[in-house]
Amino acid sequence: KELGINVKYVITDNRNAGVIERCKKLNTPYRVVSFMRIPGNTYAEDKSIHEQRIINLLDEEDVGWIFLAGYMRILSQSFLDHFYNPITNQNNVINIHPSLLPKFPGKKGYFDAYSANVQESGITVHYVDSGIDTGAIIAQEKFKRFEEDTLEDFSSRGLALEHKLYPEILEKVLL
């Protein structure tokens, strides 16, 4: 909102996600699109059904860009193709990741970098493809690891950098 960007809404698949309280405080609309159980079946719904429910919501509001943060599912090529932009030859789906990709892709970027005892780590903002953190890199910023760092110190420094870098990229891409 500080950038003058119209956020249609935040989507989460977790009814208990911390972002919901944040949305309420900021008066930002949100939707919970749970990965539902199929009646009579112990397995969750098909990924394509879940993604289609998200696409339907986004299409209702004519959403042009998707910015992921803490979204822990791999999006299908079909989903990404729905948001393909022929001008950039990319899809309009961007993610922020807590490492200097291609190092330490996946769910535990901070933990993996810290465990590897790196002296420097960072944040990557990238286009999303159907791989795991393999899309074209838009920007990266580094931060140092200090000898006395705990994992919490290390992660906190990275998170502060995420909060700085992501709005800069949003502004660059959208304005």
Question: Which residues does the annotation mark as catalytic?
Answer: 97
Check if the beta carbon of residue 80 is closer than 8 Å to that of residue 128: yes
Written as six digits, the tokens of 67 are: 């910015």
- Give the number of other CB atoms < 10 A from CB of residue 7: 15
What backbone phi and psi angles, to 5 degrees, belong to 43? -95, 155
H or E segment to which residue 134 belongs = none
- Give the number of other CB atoms < 10 A from CB of residue 102: 11
Written as six digits, the tokens of 151 are: 């994992």
DSSP class of 26: H
